[in-house]
Amino acid sequence: MDGRPLLLYPSLRMPSQFDVAIIGGGPAGSVAGSVLARYGRSVVIFEREKFPRFQVGESTIPASLDTLQRIGVKEKIDQAGFLTKDGGEIVSACGGARAKFFFRNALNPRWKTAYQIDRMTFDDILLRHAQSSGCEVREETRVESVEFSADGVALHCKGSPTPTRAAYVIDCSGRSSLLANRFRLKESFPHLKKFSVYSYYQRNSKSNDPEDGYTRMIRGNDAWFWVIPIADGKISVGVVMDLERFNQLKLSPEEALNRTIEEQPEVRKWVENTTRYMPVFATADFSYAVRQLTGERWILAGDAAGFIDPVFSSGIYIAIYSGEKAGETLNSVLTDPGQTGVAYRRYERAVQKRLASYLKLSSAWYTKEFIEIFLHPREMLNMVAIVNSVLGGNPPRTLRERLVMALFYFLVYLQGRTGKLVPQLTFQPEAPRAEEIGARI
């Protein structure tokens, strides 16, 4: 099919046990399974871990809520006690500029809020919903290899002498990206070679201030920080820096996190009077693209289809979006195999469009001029609303929206060339006063 990689093995002509096998029980796999099961398709989900399990990535955006409602799980999410997320705040580390963005200010928003979530609970709700919808879920089951034949796929799992057969497979294996690695489809972004260290803190006192529910992103000179609230006074705090800088620090991840927080007053104030209750985690080189998302009997979804820097909370959204699209695509293919090519191309365009939108935003985020323009908004041509829509997971749809976003990026370009459109920022925090240092010793 148009040069798509396909490994052929002699067909045993055995009937498929399932219509679709899904590798991975995270948001992408669970959503894809729920979609297919609701169409009456037989689905098996392989998950290598036992849920609930730890996973980073606590912030969602409104665009995901449509999918959650369509598959019938939104009410369960609403009842789980997650914090409501109205938007976020971006702050210069020098404290001289800050800007809030609210989902309600997007262009004709369908949803005006999202969630700040505990991934252990959130992912478990999605997987159990897929199970209750009719999917067979096999936890603590690692798929080690996949064999393709003309009439199906065979999945070989660790510890199982008998393969599981299905007509199609959806790879939602996350960043391990089983099939993309096998077919050598992954491409890294040289300008996004980053290293992230993060952990979780418990506040000693709880606040009912709505602003305490915002995602906060603090932009330093050569790094940025996130502060994401979770229910019950818990917060996720992390820093993303160039991999080269981390290596130059010659520190452990815990030492690097402690030092970088200590150097940033805008971050430090959020962890004062807190207790860290989890170890410090680290992730390196986490941004990549995948050249091709579909093949003869396979589709990639979620992080297995590509992962962009987490700065704008795109990970869970792309997982949920692509999971739904993958399920819809294979249901169409199972209904009418003659439309496979059309369905696959439509899926590729839709998912790659959203990945490209976030790649452009994330790449711009690491430039000084992008932050300067963003932190000094000027309302023209409904630009603020359109940018808010993009941040909420909705890429420009109309010609007007595309032109306005092009103008936004042109303003960023002009700021970079001239430095005169808005005030320039240093991103450098003020040195702490002697009395402040003494108070922390």
Question: What is residue 285's predicted lDDT score, i.e. its pLDDT?
Answer: 66
- For residue 324, what are the CA distances in angstroms to 6, 66, 198, 278, 341? 24, 10, 30, 32, 18
Amino acid at 374: F
* Helical spans, DSSP H, in 205-313: 243-249, 253-262, 265-271
User: Who's near 319: CB < 8 A, 6+ residues apart?
Assistant: 26, 27, 28, 31, 172, 301, 302, 303
Q: Which residues pair with 186 in a beta bridge?
A: 290
Cα separation, 91 vs 214, whole angstroms:
12
What does DSSP assign to residue 195?
A: E
Q: Which CATH architecture has domain 190-284?
A: 2-Layer Sandwich (3.30)
Q: Which helix (H) or strand (E) holds 365?
A: helix 340-365
Question: What is residue 96's predicted lDDT score, i.e. its pLDDT?
Answer: 78
Whether 89 and 99 have beta carbons less than 8 Å apart is answered as yes
What are the sequence ranges of the domains in the chain? 18-82+117-189+288-351, 190-284
Cα separation, 228 vs 235, whole angstroms:
5
Cα separation, 314 vs 355, whole angstroms:
9
Angle at 385 between CA 380 and CA 389, to 5 degrees: 140
Closest CA to 377 of 420, 422, 416: 422
How many other CB atoms are there within 10 angstroms of residue 126's CB atom?
A: 28
Cα separation, 96 vs 375, whole angstroms:
10
Question: What is residue 2's predicted lDDT score, i.e. its pLDDT?
Answer: 42
Q: What is the DSSP string of 14-27?
A: PPPSEEEEEE--SH
Whether 343 and 297 have beta carbons less than 8 Å apart is answered as no
Quick one: 47 exposed, middle or buried, by C-beta within 10 A (0-12, 13-18, 19+)?
A: buried
Cα separation, 323 vs 317, whole angstroms:
10
Q: Write out the chain's pLDDT in tens, 441 residues.
A: 344 443 333 333 345 699 999 999 999 999 999 999 999 999 999 999 999 999 998 999 999 999 999 999 999 999 999 999 999 999 998 877 888 888 998 888 889 999 999 999 999 999 999 999 999 999 999 999 999 998 899 999 998 999 999 999 999 999 999 999 999 999 988 888 899 999 999 998 766 666 677 899 999 988 999 999 998 889 999 999 999 999 999 999 999 999 999 999 999 999 998 999 999 999 886 789 999 999 999 999 999 999 988 888 888 999 999 999 999 999 999 999 999 999 999 999 999 999 999 999 989 999 999 999 998 887 788 898 998 888 888 888 899 999 999 999 999 999 999 999 999 988 888 655 444 434 343
Cα separation, 271 vs 125, whole angstroms:
29
* Helical spans, DSSP H, in 366-428: 368-374, 383-391, 399-418
Cα separation, 302 vs 123, whole angstroms:
13
Q: Which helix (H) or strand (E) holds 70?
A: helix 64-70
- Range 18-82+117-189+288-351 has CATH code 1.20.120.160: no
